[in-house]
């Protein structure tokens, strides 16, 4: 209910903030083309105008309208035997389906475009098609195939001195190395790409992608300040360009960084047992969920099934952190639906693994096993390309993970019981200390009535204040540890201040008791 109320307001805000100027200029261009089409009588010019319409509509996310106009372009191309524009419109259709997350259809049109471009012998356009096909294989988890097409493209870009295209290839190769876990190699290619954009003064969507990708590597390397810097640079450039898909990527990246920082804060908080502190004081978790919800709105507006699958996945993880397990499972299932539909194997693998974890927590080991088996199958198809694996190995891993889960639950229960026992012990000991101190204070008050040596009275008073001082130190130790960070010098200073505050009371009490003893005459010589 909350989400339904917020969507229209968020959508209007995002639309005006990010896309107002861009959409207005694109609308003018579309109107201008429609006027030209209405006046133009020759097919040769009309084919160019209609193709330009397809490009503009695709850029602003009007995919259905773009596909309608693309049918007109294809008809004109076949009539006029214009293979050049036909290859371009096939490529544009491939981009539309890629943006909508339909990787299979996208690959079909990119391949059609590549075949025509090879026939026409245009190296620059052949290179672009190689990049696009590489992107499809990358999203499908076919990294070896993707790398093959990216290096083909890079070779051509270098030969024709297409610096912008060269930067794009370098960025895409960096992504493959990142996916394979070779982060230093990945960063090397990303910075080569960024260096070209800076030298050529190219502020475009591809540059924004590279900035975001560098942020991802720094996040993996736990250089969080650097990651945040590059994410914000990418986000600001995408807003400037009116790149809706890019804005979604930036929101997801920044949200996932917030989740990571939240998880680290949580670990530090539990490790140090800081008393009285609000663990999520910086609102990192709420900030992440807000970014994911905004990304989901734009993803739905673009009808991008790939992004919807990914966004539902991260939104589900955020709900699990908030211990909303049913809500998390619901989002994971939505993620699995879209990732399975688009053929995005890495995301589909993650969705299956996450659903298995949810079922584990609910004690439903049967469904957990099914989804864990699916996750292992997808993992093997991504990294090994071996479709049929030994089921015994999967079952063994499942049994191992189930055992680990049960061990973790038993360990948590043991720690909980220990904590309760320790708390009861501390309360009992504190109570006994307080009672003992009360007894000693009462004894001091009656010292004047007793026949006691002043020296012995002084020792008794000193012992009472010493015990009181130690009790205060024990009581405030967790707070001192929190504020000083465990620094010995600061802890000593605080202890000295407490001793200095107690000392005057000790002296006053000692004089008072001495006078009482002398007054009562309880002391001989």
Q: How far apart are CA 307 and CA 314, in angstroms?
A: 11
Q: Enumerate the domain spans of the chain.
A: 446-520
Q: How far apart are CA 506 and CA 91, in angstroms?
A: 89
Residue-wise pLDDT tens digits, 197-236: 999 998 899 999 999 999 999 999 999 999 999 999 999 9
pLDDT tier for residue 17 given thresholds of 50, 70 and 90: very low
pLDDT for the residue 142:
85
Q: Which two tokens stand for residue 211?
A: 């900035």
Query: Alpha carbon of 204 to those of 98, 126, 357: distances in Å?
Result: 19, 21, 40
Closest CA to 368 of 347, 350, 353: 353
92-137 pLDDT tens trace: 999 999 988 889 999 999 999 999 999 999 999 999 999 999 999 9
The confidence score (pLDDT) of residue 402 equals: 43
Binned at pLDDT 50, 70 and 90, residue 452 comes out as: low
pLDDT in tens, 274-297: 544 455 545 888 888 899 999 889
For residues 137 and 97, what is the distance between their CA atoms, to the nearest angstrom? 14
Specify whether the CB–CB gap between 315 and 291 falls below 8 A.
no
Q: What is the largest CA-CA distance in the chain?
A: 131
Contact 226, 218 (CB under 8 A): yes
Comparing 519 with 455, the larger pLDDT belongs to 455
φ, ψ at 70 (rounded to 5°): -65, -35
Q: What tens digit of pLDDT does each residue of 68-99 get? A: 988 988 998 999 999 999 999 999 999 999 98
Share of the chain above pLDDT 70, in %: 73
Rounded CA separation 238/212 (Å): 10
Per the prediction, the chain carries an average pLDDT of 77
């Amino acid at each position: 209910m909350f989400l339904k109320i917020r969507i229209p307001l968020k959508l209007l805000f995002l639309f005006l903030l990010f896309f107002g100027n861009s959409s207005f200029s694109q609308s003018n261009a579309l109107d201008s083309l429609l006027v030209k089409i209405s006046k133009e009588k020759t097919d040769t010019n009309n084919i160019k105008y209609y193709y330009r319409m397809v490009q503009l509509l695709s850029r602003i996310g009007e995919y259905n309208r773009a596909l309608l106009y693309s049918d007109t372009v294809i008809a004109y191309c076949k009539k006029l035997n214009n293979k050049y524009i036909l290859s371009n419109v096939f490529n544009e259709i491939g981009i539309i389906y890629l943006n909508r997350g339909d990787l299979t259809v996208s690959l079909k049109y990119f391949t059609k475009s590549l075949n025509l471009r090879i026939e026409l012998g245009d190296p620059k356009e052949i290179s672009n098609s190689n990049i696009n096909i590489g992107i499809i294989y990358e999203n499908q988890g076919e990294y070896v195939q993707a790398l093959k097409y990216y290096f083909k493209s890079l070779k051509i870009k270098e030969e024709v001195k297409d610096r912008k295209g060269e930067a794009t290839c370098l960025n895409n190769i960096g992504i493959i190395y990142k996916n394979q876990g070779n982060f230093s190699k990945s960063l090397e290619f990303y910075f080569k790409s960024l260096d070209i954009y800076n030298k050529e003064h190219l502020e475009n969507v591809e540059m924004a992608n590279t900035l975001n990708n560098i942020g991802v590597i720094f996040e993996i390397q736990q250089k969080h300040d650097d990651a945040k810097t590059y994410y914000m640079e990418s986000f600001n450039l995408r807003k400037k360009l009116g790149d809706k898909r890019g804005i979604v990527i930036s929101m997801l990246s920044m949200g996932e960084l917030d989740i990571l920082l939240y998880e680290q804060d949580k670990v530090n908080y539990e490790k140090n047992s800081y008393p009285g502190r609000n663990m999520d004081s910086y609102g990192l978790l709420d900030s992440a969920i807000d970014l994911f919800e905004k990304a989901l709105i734009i993803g739905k507006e673009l009808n991008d099934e790939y992004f919807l699958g990914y966004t539902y996945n991260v939104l589900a993880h955020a709900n699990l952190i908030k211990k909303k397990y049913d809500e998390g499972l619901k989002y994971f299932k939505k993620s699995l639906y879209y990732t399975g539909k688009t053929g995005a194997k890495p995301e589909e693998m993650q969705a299956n693994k996450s659903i298995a974890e949810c079922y584990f927590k609910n004690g439903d080991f049967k469904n957990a096993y099914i989804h864990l088996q699916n996750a292992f199958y997808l993992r093997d198809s991504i990294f090994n390309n071996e479709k049929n694996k030994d089921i015994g190995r999967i079952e063994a891993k499942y049994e191992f993970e189930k055992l680990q889960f049960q061990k973790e639950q038993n360990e948590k229960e043991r720690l909980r019981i220990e904590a309760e026992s320790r708390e009861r012990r501390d309360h009992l000991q504190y109570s006994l200390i307080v009672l003992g101190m009360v007894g000693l204070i009462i004894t001091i008050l009656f010292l004047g009535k007793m026949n006691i040596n002043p020296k012995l009275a002084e020792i008794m008073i000193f012992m009472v204040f010493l015990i009181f001082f130690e009790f205060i130190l024990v009581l405030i130790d967790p707070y001192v540890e929190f504020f000083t960070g465990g620094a010995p010098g600061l802890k000593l200073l605080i202890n000295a201040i407490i001793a200095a505050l107690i000392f005057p009371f000790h002296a006053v009490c000692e004089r008072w008791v001495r006078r009482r003893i002398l007054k009562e005459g309880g002391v001989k010589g």
